[in-house]
Structure 1
Amino acid sequence: MHPAEGLQRILPEARIKTRLIDRVSYAADAGFYHLVPQAIVQPVNETEIAALFSFSHTHNIPMVFRTGGTSLSGQSITDGILVDLSQYWNRMNIAEEGKLVRVQPGITGAMVNTYLKKYKRKIGPDPSSISAAMMGGILSNNASGMCCGVQYNSYHTTRFIRFMLADGQTFSTETPGDYDRFLQACPALAGELTALRREILANETLYQTIRRKYETKNTVGYSLNSLIDYEHPLDVFAHLLIGAEGTLAFIAEAVLETIPDEPYKSTAMLYFPDIYAACQAIQPLKDAGALMVELMDRASLRAVEHLPGMDPFVKTLPPGAAALLIEFQEPGVAELELRVNGFLAETGRLSLLNAPVFTIDPDEREFLWKVRKGMFPAVGAVRASGTTVILEDVAFPLDTLGDAILELQDLFRKYNYDNAIIFGHARDGNIHFVVTQSFNDAAEIDRYDRFLREVVELVVKKYNGTLKAEHGTGRNMAPFVETEWGGDAYRIMQRIKAAADPLALLNPGVIINSDKEVHIKNLKQLPSVEAEVDRCIECGYCEPVCPSRNLTTTPRRRIVVRRSLEAMKLAHKEEDRKTLLEQYQYDVLDTCAVDGLCAGACPVDINTGDLVKRLRRENHSVSANKTALWVARHFRATEKAARIGLTVAMGFSTVLGHKAMTGITRLLRKISPAIPLWSDQFVTPPSLKALKHAPAGGNNGTVVYFPACISRLLGSSHTGKKNIMETFLEVSAKAGIGVKVLENAEGSCCGQIFHSKGFGGAYQFTANRIIEQLWNSTEQGRFPVVIDVSSCAYTLHGHRPHLTPENQVRFDQLRIIDSVDYLHDMVMNACKPGVKKENIVLHPVCSLKKMGTETKFRKIAERFAEKVTVPVQAGCCGMAGDRGFLFPELTASATFHEASEVKANEYTGYYSSTKTCEMAMTEAVNKNYESILYMVNECTV
Structure 2
Amino acid sequence: MARDASHFDLTPRAVVTVASAEEVARLFAVGLPLTFRSGGTSLSGQGVTDGILVDSRRHFRDIAVLDHGLRVRVGPGATVRQVNARLARYGRMLGPDPASEVACTLGGVVANNSSGMACGTAANSYALIDSVVVVLPSGTILDTGDTDADDRLRALEPALWEGLARLRDRVRDDPASRTSVERQFALKNTMGYGLNALLDHDRPADILTHLLVGSEGTLGFLASIVMRTVPVHAHARTGFLVFEDLAAATAALPELVATGPAAIELLDATSLRVGQPDLDALHTLNIRDQAALLVEYRAGSAAEADDQAGRATGVLGRLDLETPPALMADAAARNRLWHLRKGLYAKVAGARPAGTAALLEDIAVPVPELLPTCRELIGLFERHAYDHAVIFGHAKDGNIHFMLTERLGDPSGRDRFGRFTEDMVGLVLSRGGTLKAEHGTGRMMTPFVRRQYGDELYDVMREIKRLCDPGGILNPGVLLSDDPGAHLAGLKTSPPVEEEVDRCVECGFCEPVCPSRDLTTTPRQRIVLRRAIEQARRDGDPALVASLEKDYEYDGVDTCAVDGMCQTACPVQINTGDLVRRLRSTDAQAAWSFAARHWSATTRTMGAALSTARRLPLIASPVSRAAHRAVGAPLWTRDLPGGGSPRPRLTPAGRPDAILFASCTNTMFGPTSKDTGDTPPRSPHRDTGDMRSAFALLCARAGIVLATPPGLPGLCCGTPWKSKGMTRGHDAMAERVRPALAGDVPVVVDAASCTEGLRQLVGADATIIDAVQYTADVLLDRLTVTERLGDLALHPTCSAQRMGLTPALLKVAGAVAERVTVPSSWGCCGFAGDRGLLHPELTAAATAPQVAELAGRHFDAYASCNRTCEVGMTRATGHPYVHVLDVLERVTR
Q: Do the two structures share a fold, i.e. TM-score over 0.5?
A: yes
Counterpart among 855, 867, 873 of residue 807 in structure 2: 855
1:306 — aligned with what? 277
2:677 aligns to what?
none
Residue 510 (str. 1) matches residue 489 (str. 2): no
8 A Cα contact 1:475 1:519, kept in partner: yes
The equivalent of 1:882 in structure 2 is 834
Decide which of 708, 712, 727 is 1:760's aligned counterpart: 727
Name the residue aligned to 1:22: none
CA contact (8 A) 1:695 1:733 kept: no
Question: How far has the Cα of 1:261 moved from its partner?
Answer: 1.4
* Number of matched pairs: 881
Paired amino acid for 2:669: L
Give the alignment partner of residue 201 of structure 2, picking from 214, 217, 230. Answer: 230
Aligned position for 2:669 = 714
Q: Quick one: which amino acid aligns to residue 362 of structure 2? A: D
Contact 1:697 1:739 in 2 (8 A): no
Partner SS state of residue 616, structure 2? helix
Q: Which one of the candidate residues 614, 623, 637 is aligned to 1:664?
A: 623
* Pair 1:651 & 2:608 matched: no
Q: Which residue of 1 aligns with 2:247?
A: 276
Given that 2:20 and 2:223 are in contact with CA atoms closer than 8 Å, whether structure 1 keeps it comes out as no
Partner of 1:214: 185
CA–CA distance in structure 1, aligned partners of residues 857 and 733 of structure 2: 43
The reply to whether residue 46 of structure 1 matches residue 17 of structure 2 is no
**Structure 2 counterpart of 1:375:** 344
Q: Name the residue aligned to 2:736.
A: 769
Partner of 1:628: 592
Q: Residue 363 and residue 925 in structure 1: after superposition, are their counterparts in 2 closer, same or farther (change >3 A)?
A: farther
Classify the secondary structure of the residue corresponding to 1:94: strand
Deviations 1:117-173 (A, max 9, x none): 122211111111112110000000011111111111100100111101001111122
C-alpha displacement at 1:293, in angstroms? Answer: 0.3
Q: Give the deviation of 1:720 after TM superposition.
A: 4.6
2:397 to 416, 420, 428: 428
Q: Give the AA of the match of 2:360.
A: L
* Alpha-carbon distance, 1:549 to partner: 1.1
TM-score, structure 2 as length reference? 0.96
**Match in the other structure for 1:521:** 489
- Give the letter aligned to residue 164 of structure 1: V
Letter aligned with residue 596 of structure 2: A
Whether contact under 8 Å (1:29, 1:539) holds in the other structure is: yes
The letter for the 2-side match of 1:865 is A
Q: Note if contact 1:697-1:738 (Cα within 8 Å) is conserved in structure 2.
A: no
Task: Give 1:8's aligned residue.
Answer: none
CA distance in 1, matches of 2:273, 2:645: 58
Distance 1:495 1:159 in 2: 25
How far apart, in 2, do the equivalents of 1:456 and 1:419 lie? 20
- Structure 1 Cα separation of the partners of residues 689 and 306 of structure 2: 54
Tell me how far apart the structure 1 counterparts of residues 821 and 403 of structure 2 sit (CA, whole Å): 42
Q: Which amino acid aligns with 2:20?
A: N
Aligned residue number for residue 522 of structure 2: 554
Contact 2:510 2:524 in 1 (8 A): yes
- Aligned-pair CA distance for 1:314: 4.6
- Per-residue CA deviations over 1:629-682 (Å, capped at 9, x if unaligned) read 1121122232333233333322211xx2xxx74443221112211x11113343
Cα displacement (A) at 1:410: 0.5
3-state DSSP class of the match of 1:126?
A: coil
Match of 2:29, SS state, is: helix
AA matched with 2:363? V
What SS does the aligned partner of 1:65 have?
Answer: strand
Structure 1 position 796 matched with structure 2 position 758: yes
Task: Note closer, same or farther for the CA distance 1:348–1:824 as it changes in structure 2 (3 Å cut).
Answer: closer
| Cα distance in 1, alignment partners of residues 283 and 181 from structure 2 | 42
Deviates more, 1:338-347 or 1:358-367: 358-367
Alpha-carbon distance in 2 for matches of 1:549, 1:314: 41
- Following superposition, the deviation at residue 556 of structure 1 comes to 1.2
Aligned-residue offset at 1:895:
0.9
Per the TM alignment, residue 367 of structure 1 is displaced from its structure 2 partner at its CA by: 3.5
Query: Which residue number corresponds to residue 13 of structure 1?
Result: none
- Contact 1:546 / 1:555 at 8 angstroms: preserved in 2? yes
Quote how far apart the aligned CAs of 1:903 are. 2.3
Which residues of structure 2 form unaligned runs of 5+?
674-685
Structure 1 match to 2:635 = 677
2:501 aligns with: 533
The residue that corresponds to 2:681 in the other structure is none
Say whether the 8 Å CA contact 1:160–1:173 is kept in structure 2: yes
Residue 100 of structure 2 is aligned to residue 129 of structure 1: yes
Q: Cα distance 1:251–1:643, how it changes in 2: closer, same or farther (>3 A)?
A: closer
Deviation at 1:230, TM superposition (A): 1.4
Residues of 1 paired with 2:576 and 2:155: CA distance? Answer: 54
The CA deviation string for residues 737-796 of structure 1, in whole angstroms up to 9 with x for no partner, is 122233333232211111101101111111221222223xxxxx1432222111001000
Q: 1:614 to 1:849 in 2, by over 3 A?
A: same
Quote the offset at 1:52 in angstroms. 1.1
Q: Distance in 2 between matches of 1:316 and 1:705?
A: 47
Give the Cα–Cα distance (whole angstroms) in 1 for the partners of residues 749 and 660 of structure 2: 6
Deviations 1:314-334 (A, max 9, x none): 562422111111100123333
**Deviation of 1:231 (Å):** 1.6
| Stretch moving more, 595-604 or 421-430 | 595-604
- Name the CA shift for 1:714/1:140 in 2 (closer, same or farther; >3 Å): same
- Look up the match of 1:437: 406
Q: Which runs of 5+ in 1 are unaligned?
A: 1-25, 776-780, 801-810
Q: Distance in 1 between matches of 2:285 and 2:427?
A: 33
2: CA distance between counterparts of 1:885 and 1:378? Answer: 39
Q: Indicate the residue corresponding to 1:5 in structure 2.
A: none
Q: Which residue of 1 aligns with 2:648?
A: 691
| Alignment check: 8 A CA contact 2:518 2:845 kept | yes
CA contact (8 A) 1:129 1:373 kept: no
Pick one of 285, 298, 306 that aligns with 1:337: 306
Cα distance in 2 for residues equivalent to 1:644 and 1:847: 27
Structure 2 residue matching 1:267: 3-state secondary structure: strand
- Measured on the aligned residues, the alpha-carbon RMSD in Å equals 1.7
Amino acid paired to 1:541: F
What is the rounded CA distance, in whole Å, between the counterparts of 1:880 and 1:265 in structure 2?
38
Match of 2:775 in 1: 823
Q: Is the 8 A contact 1:715 1:725 kept in 2?
A: no
1:837 corresponding residue in structure 2: 789
What one-letter code is carried by the residue in structure 1 that aligns with 2:204?
P
**Which of 692, 717, 727 is the matching residue for 1:750?**
717
Alignment of 1:599-638 (within 5 A): 599-617=567-585, 620-621=586-587, 624-638=588-602
* SS of the residue 1:305 aligns to: helix
Kept in 2: contact 1:164–1:252 (CA 8 A):
yes
The 1:917–1:734 alpha-carbon spacing in structure 2 relative to 1, beyond 3 Å, is: same
User: Are the aligned partners of 1:241 and 1:249 in contact in 2 as well (CA < 8 Å)?
Assistant: yes
Query: Which residue of 213, 223, 227 maps to 1:252?
Result: 223
Aligned-partner residue type, residue 830 of structure 2: G
Instruction: State the shift of 1:46 in Å.
Output: 1.3
Conserved? CA contact 2:46–2:475, under 8 Å: yes
> Any idea what the Cα deviations from partners look like across 1:167-191, whole Å, max 9, x if unmatched?
1111122112232121122122222
User: 2:550 corresponds to which residue?
Assistant: 582
Partner of 1:20: none
For residue 813 of structure 1, report the CA deviation from its aligned partner: 4.5
**Residue aligning to 1:292:** 263
1:188 to 134, 140, 159: 159
Q: Deviations over 1:195-215 (max 9, x none)?
A: 212211221111111111111
Report deviation, 1:364: 3.1
Rate the CA distance shift 1:186–1:717 in 2: closer, same or farther, 3 A.
closer
Structure 1 residue aligned with 2:847, among 859, 877, 895? 895
Distance 1:557 1:282 in 2: 43
2:863 is matched with: 911
2:873 paired residue number: 921
Q: Give the superposition deviation at 1:45.
A: 0.9
**What secondary structure is seen at the aligned counterpart in 1 of 2:372?**
helix
Q: Give yes or no for contact 1:389–1:434 (8 Å, CA) kept in 2.
A: yes
8 Å contact kept, 2:96–2:116: yes
Secondary structure of 2:713's counterpart equals coil
Percentage of identical aligned residues: 39
